Amino acid sequence: MYEHLIELKHNVTSIILDKLKKNLLEVGVNKIDYLEVRNEKELSFASLYEKYRLFVAFYIGNIRVIDNFALHYKVKNKK
């Protein structure tokens, strides 16, 4: 899971989120309520903002796990 979070840090795409969802289901998660990347400042959907958070809620058995992770992306200056 950590490797996928690092990949998200550099390239936020729906393909990566789908892959992370698949991996969570493969390791025993039986239901995913949400898995979203939002900009850290306004919690709107991620765009070109530099600081993001990954919000996740899922079930393992009857236990609901809710967490979020900071994802920081550096935008390189164009010259």
pLDDT digits (tens, 9 = 90+) for 65-78: 999 998 876 555 55
Q: Does pTM surpass 0.75? A: no
The residues spanned by each domain of the chain are 2-72
pLDDT digits (tens, 9 = 90+) for 34-45: 998 887 877 665
Exposure string (b/e) for 8-40, b if CB count within 10 Å is 16 or more?
bbeebeeebbeebbeebeeeebeeeeeeebbbe
| CATH number assigned to the domain covering 2-72 | 3.30.1300.10
